């Protein structure tokens, strides 16, 4: 998949320039393709390029910009660099909130992701309120018996107060 995406990126860059929405989406997909293979050496540069292109393309809170920030943040988390991941994930969460609203289910996911990184940094006192908010959002949208709500509750209880 990565080889085909690299070829697509080269074509898009030649025709549209790298600072196009299509190229940005392809960079984001290349980031994910490399991440899935555990190829962080290539995934991180693609992720950085995607974030930079998205910032140029979208002045405000665009979903692709949030996705690029989130992808790069997750890469840093998986590579054992939570201190680099946290600001990216927090910016992504802010964009999700501006795009979709404070009570959207994707906001719950963004909150849980930030909370997990805070836990990795040993900042459990900051993680817990985000996890509780994620539970509240999921209860409101999915109800008490939904698997997403149950998972959010498990995440919140495993963080000691």
Amino acid 152: pLDDT? 87
113 pLDDT higher than 80: yes
- pLDDT per position as a tens digit, 90-107: 999 999 999 999 999 999
Q: For residue 100, what are the contacts with CB-CB under 8 A and spacing of at least 6? A: 106, 107
User: What span, in angstroms and rounded, lies between the C-alpha atoms of 27 and 42?
Assistant: 11
Q: Please give the average per-residue pLDDT across 131-160, as a whole number.
A: 87
121 pLDDT higher than 80: yes
Amino acid 135: pLDDT? 95
This prediction has a pTM of 0.89
Amino acid 13: pLDDT? 87
Nearest to 42 by CA among 80, 6, 90: 6
């Amino acid at each position: 998949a990565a080889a085909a995406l690299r070829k697509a990126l080269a074509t898009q860059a030649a025709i549209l320039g790298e600072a196009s929405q299509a190229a940005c989406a392809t960079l984001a997909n290349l980031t994910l393709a490399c991440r899935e293979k555990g190829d962080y050496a290539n995934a991180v540069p693609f992720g950085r390029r995607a974030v930079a292109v998205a910032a140029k393309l979208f002045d405000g809170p665009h979903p692709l910009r949030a996705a690029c920030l989130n992808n790069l943040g997750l890469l840093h988390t998986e590579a054992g660099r939570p201190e680099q991941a946290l600001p990216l994930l927090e910016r992504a969460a802010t964009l999700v909130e501006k795009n979709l609203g404070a009570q959207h289910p994707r906001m719950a996911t963004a909150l849980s992701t930030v909370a997990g990184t805070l836990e990795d940094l040993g900042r459990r006192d900051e993680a817990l309120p985000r996890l509780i908010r994620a539970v509240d959002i999921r209860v409101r949208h999915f109800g008490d018996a939904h698997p997403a709500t149950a998972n959010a509750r498990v995440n919140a209880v495993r963080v000691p107060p």
